[in-house]
Structure 1
Amino acid sequence: MSPFEGDCQPTRVPLLFKSGRPTLPFPHPWNFQRPIDILDAYFWQADEEIGPGRHNRYLDVPGFPAVLVTRDPGIIRAVLTSTGDREGQFDRDTLPSTGIARATGEDTLLFGNGAMWRKQRKASAAPFGKTALFQVDVFFKFEETFRKTVRQRLLVLRQHLLDTGSPRLQIAVEPEIKALMLELLVDCFFGASIDYQEIRDKYVPALERVIDHIVRDTVTNRLGLPRTVLAKISRSYAQANRDFATFDELTDRVLAARPTGRGLWEKLQTEASDEALRSNIKVFLAGALEATTSFATWAISHLARNEAWQEKVYREVEAMADYSPDQIAAARHLGAVLDETLRLTPSLYFLPRKATAPIRITTSDGREMLIPKNTHILLDVWHANRHEDHWGAATTGFTATEFAPERWEHLSAEKGPSKEHLHFGFGHGPRVCPGKHIGQLEVALVVGVFIKMFRFRALHDENPVKAGVSTKPADGTLVELELREPSSGMTTADEWEMLLKNPSDK
């Protein structure tokens, strides 16, 4: 008997092994590094069904709460809208993020529920809000830091091209983007002055290993044994201890900037002590390395395989002297590329929720589902955004698995209701990602300037995914790039450096 009720009934997923299914429909020590395959397992042969079970599946094991997985955008939206700290609402399910809590603390905006979440959300609303970030002086600070770093990297690139005698360079862009994103957050948002090279060579590698450890620890350390204990018998945990010490050092340096008033500290509406803020600072630092890197590298990766759209965006940004909020808002093609990137390859590829009581949800088209108390819910954004039923040619003008920024122009021309075509790239509802606006700011700046400076193409036709805390291109965003010639006709690296120092002179 199904524990669910209503006219939108999910169908049951077989628990045992089935021939042809990519893996078992739950994480275990041998498949936890393949989360997309685990989600695939829920919808194995689902396209053969007619009815609500085509996009809604559940796993029911005697003695355990049910697990509901949905790739139905209407159900996803209804659950996200009904999430909060009031009685009879959905909480964020903490089960998939136990490793994050052990790494950063349980008193965070990410992990907390109920009154704790509400308190943390109120404190973070001002510094992360659009009003605080989308200001000319804030953008100028981000641009200033960005130009300084880009000048350094251009000089390195120029020397490499001179040494090799080649006009082109093959490079995996992801490591460069990671360092840049962390620097922007550390320097501009938190006001801590840390040398770019130190960020790139010391803090980024340590944080990368911390994030990998978080994923592994969530699945393999079910008992929650202390890392310090496991480090005595495991080399990987011993390395993790060293990396966490480096993570703590970075957090200390960020918190040390708080009394200076630099960055956006003054907008943080709380009298909490540094120690009380520590866990959230760690979440923000790790998030900068993950979500914004994912967003930017996917955009570059898609454009590396779509020369026509790369040139469309270039024609928009080549005359930009600065990246003010108004200029970014006016860059229609860049906006379409970023929306399509979040639709096709969302950083947050699933959103976990848990029913705090028996909860009846109603979709915008009137379908209902009663979800039992304690049900674990995986809102499968990755597959919802890639299914022909929701984002295919019939509704958007282009196939769902195709990178086609034109679909956003098509949807706009059709004047369809925007709430029916949500990509959920930053989540939705009360628990929307608090870093949404800073992510948009940083990625628009990084991707826009990258296209302005370089012409680039992918070295492989295929663009597979790797997934952990977030998703990224499996090839590390491997491209062949060459410097563009500025429209003024300047060609030397020295002239490029002058252009970066004085963009308004163009």
Structure 2
Amino acid sequence: MTVTATPSTPRGMDSLPGPRPLPLLGNTLEMKPTSFHLVLEDWARRYGEIYRCHMGPRPVVVLSNPEVIRKVLIDRPATFRRLRNLEKVMEDMNLLGVFPAEGETWRRQRKLLNPGFQATHLETFYPSLSTITQRLRGVMELAAKEAHTVDVLPLIMRYTVDVTCIVSFGLDLNTVEKGSDTLQLQLEQIFAALQHRVVAPFPYWKLLPGTRPVDRALAATRKVMLEIIDSARKAMEREPERAKQPRTLLEAMLVAQDEESDGARLTDDEVIANVVILLLGGEDTTANTITWMLHYLASMPEMQARARQEVDSVLGTETVPTSAHLKRLPYVAGVTQEALRLRSPVPTVLLETNEDTVIDQVAVPAGTMVFCLTRPPCLNNSLFGDAEHFRPERWLPEPPPDTLPHTPRLMMPFGAGSRICPGRSLGLLECALVASTVLRHFELEVVDPNAPVREVNTFTVQPDGVRLRFRQRAST
């Protein structure tokens, strides 16, 4: 397989530039987990669009050419796959859902999960999403009334947990108003453990199995999930029509059948794995993007005013946005796209080759790690005009001429090809709903413009230090 069509003889990986590795350790000491992506991006600026580094003794090919990355992502799962270590870690945690799975396991699960993410399902969830968003508004109103500053990310993470729980299995946790739930705290433990275990030099957690807090969190979460699954099955027995029109993603998973495999269904373990992965991903990636959106809106008053004017114009006398309203907010959608362009929650895609291949005229053996950096192309002025600046107008149907060039297909925050993120529509819906609600009812201010806001890699990349003031608008 050749990722780039070229008649020349491919060169070897040894010819690639890159940082000098230490014996056995490679470049591992330089790649601290919390700043892992920033180190790789810095090396890309230094060594170019394809270079080599080492994770321990193993070589890694690192890519930042968007056309090459796109071809790599589209050629999954045939020639490329997620890191085997990620699949192994998640299998050990009994979380082998559609995200880490490969091969036939992935194909079968993805086929059974796809119906639950159809747009028609999102429309049925909208009233619940709107209710949760109004609770978020209430918390912000209280903060505004009492002149409290808000640490934004934890609040938005509670919001996305509530949304994901109601959409996934109809459970209304209401952590937005009540504070963190036991289930959310357990998920945070599991999520943190994933990051450490994937990059660990050896599986230290197997030395004393079952004794670590994350193992207890996994066991407790599994118990809760089995109870929820049992309750969902009983509800569908009482109301058979729910099998034909599932009300939650969980119900859709339970009734899905693979007609090519004699009506095979997802096992309880597979259902649990996919629900937990959905909770983990839904909480983290969407919350990160919404937090960055609010940060940029607060930091750029003129942009905030323009976005608010669009929301006011579309909503008219209404105070609660409907799903129809959200489809008529192109500038607000541009704010979301800019947050994803500059602050993607997953700026590094970690892959591995299934077979010998050629990438950008370089021969890459089977089993080689391949890291795709999706942010450097988004900062390339030849692909995105004025690339360093946050300019939502570049995403309008008729953008200003000075924002050109504009190459949206080379921005890949949700991946590309057959393994594109199935939850992207739900995530974008949450972004639009929160942004329009906040703009309708509040003016945003940064608490301290001089305080640093950092990116921290915790399996996904989170903003750290976003503290805002919410001022109630007099007209609402």
Deviations 1:250-270 (A, max 9, x none): 434543452335424443324
Residues 14, 26 of structure 1: alpha-carbon distance in 2 compared, 3 angstrom cutoff: closer
Say yes or no: does 1:432 pair with 2:432.
no
Deviations 1:393-440 (A, max 9, x none): x54331x23222233349856698976642211111111111111111
User: How many angstroms apart in 1 are the aligned matches of 2:470 and 2:436?
Assistant: 15
Aligned partner of 1:356: which letter? N
Aligned residue in 1 for 2:260: none
Aligned residue in 2 for 1:15: 20
Kept after mapping to 1: 8 A contact 2:394/2:406:
no
User: How many angstroms apart in 2 are the aligned matches of 1:191 and 1:177?
Assistant: 19
User: How many angstroms apart in 2 are the aligned matches of 1:396 and 1:218?
Assistant: 33
Deviation at 1:131, TM superposition (A): 4.1
Aligned partner of 2:337: which letter? D
SS at match of 2:309: helix
User: How many angstroms apart in 1 are the aligned matches of 2:389 and 2:341?
Assistant: 10
Deviations 1:104-148 (A, max 9, x none): 42x311111111111111111111233432x2x332232133324
User: How many angstroms apart in 2 are the aligned matches of 1:309 and 1:289?
Assistant: 27
Kept after mapping to 1: 8 A contact 2:383/2:406:
no
Residues 474, 16 of structure 1: alpha-carbon distance in 2 compared, 3 angstrom cutoff: same
User: How many angstroms apart in 1 are the aligned matches of 2:30 and 2:209?
Assistant: 20
Percentage of pairs with the same residue: 18
User: How many angstroms apart in 2 are the aligned matches of 1:354 and 1:411?
Assistant: 40
User: 1:255-270 residue pairs with structure 2 within 5 A?
Assistant: 255-259=229-233, 260=235, 261=242, 262-268=247-253, 269-270=256-257
Aligned residue in 2 for 1:31: 32
Deviation at 1:215, TM superposition (A): 1.3
Deviations 1:299-322 (A, max 9, x none): 111212111111111122235245
User: What is the TM-score when the length of structure 2 is the normalising length?
Assistant: 0.81
Say yes or no: does 1:67 pair with 2:68.
no
Aligned partner of 2:475: which letter? P
Aligned residue in 2 for 1:498: none
User: How many angstroms apart in 1 are the aligned matches of 2:44 and 2:32?
Assistant: 17
SS at match of 2:410: coil
Aligned residue in 2 for 1:396: 384
User: How many angstroms apart in 1 are the aligned matches of 2:337 and 2:463?
Assistant: 17
Aligned residue in 2 for 1:442: 430
Which residue of 368, 376, 383 maps to 1:383? Answer: 376
User: How many angstroms apart in 1 are the aligned matches of 2:288 and 2:208?
Assistant: 31
Kept after mapping to 1: 8 A contact 2:19/2:52:
no
Kept after mapping to 2: 8 A contact 1:465/1:473:
yes
Kept after mapping to 1: 8 A contact 2:86/2:100:
no
Aligned partner of 2:349: which letter? L
Say yes or no: does 1:157 pair with 2:143.
yes
Deviation at 1:183, TM superposition (A): 0.7
Residues 16, 312 of structure 1: alpha-carbon distance in 2 compared, 3 angstrom cutoff: same
User: How many angstroms apart in 1 are the aligned matches of 2:55 and 2:272?
Assistant: 39
Residues 228, 317 of structure 1: alpha-carbon distance in 2 compared, 3 angstrom cutoff: farther
Deviation at 1:324, TM superposition (A): 3.9
User: How many angstroms apart in 1 are the aligned matches of 2:307 and 2:416?
Assistant: 27
Which residue of 482, 485, 488 maps to 2:471? Answer: 482
Aligned residue in 1 for 2:81: 91
Residues 146, 99 of structure 1: alpha-carbon distance in 2 compared, 3 angstrom cutoff: same
Aligned partner of 1:375: which letter? T
Kept after mapping to 1: 8 A contact 2:52/2:60:
yes
Aligned residue in 2 for 1:502: none
Aligned residue in 1 for 2:393: 406
Deviation at 1:34, TM superposition (A): 2.1
Deviation at 1:217, TM superposition (A): 2.5
Residues 463, 109 of structure 1: alpha-carbon distance in 2 compared, 3 angstrom cutoff: same
User: How many angstroms apart in 1 are the aligned matches of 2:400 and 2:418?
Assistant: 29
Aligned partner of 1:251: which letter? M
Aligned residue in 2 for 1:371: 364
Aligned residue in 1 for 2:100: 111
User: 1:176-215 residue pairs with structure 2 within 5 A?
Assistant: 176-196=155-175, 200-215=180-195
User: How many angstroms apart in 1 are the aligned matches of 2:269 and 2:214?
Assistant: 22
User: How many angstroms apart in 2 are the aligned matches of 1:123 and 1:26?
Assistant: 41
**Structure 2 residue ranges without an equivalent (≥5):** 236-241, 258-264
Aligned residue in 1 for 2:344: 346
Aligned residue in 2 for 1:145: 132
Residues 348, 101 of structure 1: alpha-carbon distance in 2 compared, 3 angstrom cutoff: farther
User: How many angstroms apart in 1 are the aligned matches of 2:173 and 2:227?
Assistant: 8
Kept after mapping to 1: 8 A contact 2:454/2:464:
yes
Deviation at 1:76, TM superposition (A): 0.7
Deviation at 1:44, TM superposition (A): 5.9
Kept after mapping to 1: 8 A contact 2:82/2:352:
yes
Aligned residue in 2 for 1:304: 298
Aligned residue in 2 for 1:129: 118
Deviations 1:181-225 (A, max 9, x none): 111111233212334356624333332232222212223362364
- Aligned Cα root-mean-square deviation (Å): 3.3
Aligned partner of 1:267: which letter? A
**Structure 1 residue ranges without an equivalent (≥5):** 18-23, 47-53, 162-167, 232-236, 362-366, 488-506
SS at match of 2:422: coil
Kept after mapping to 2: 8 A contact 1:27/1:38:
no
Which residue of 205, 218, 238 maps to 1:244? Answer: 218
Aligned partner of 1:451: which letter? L
Say yes or no: does 1:470 pair with 2:460.
yes
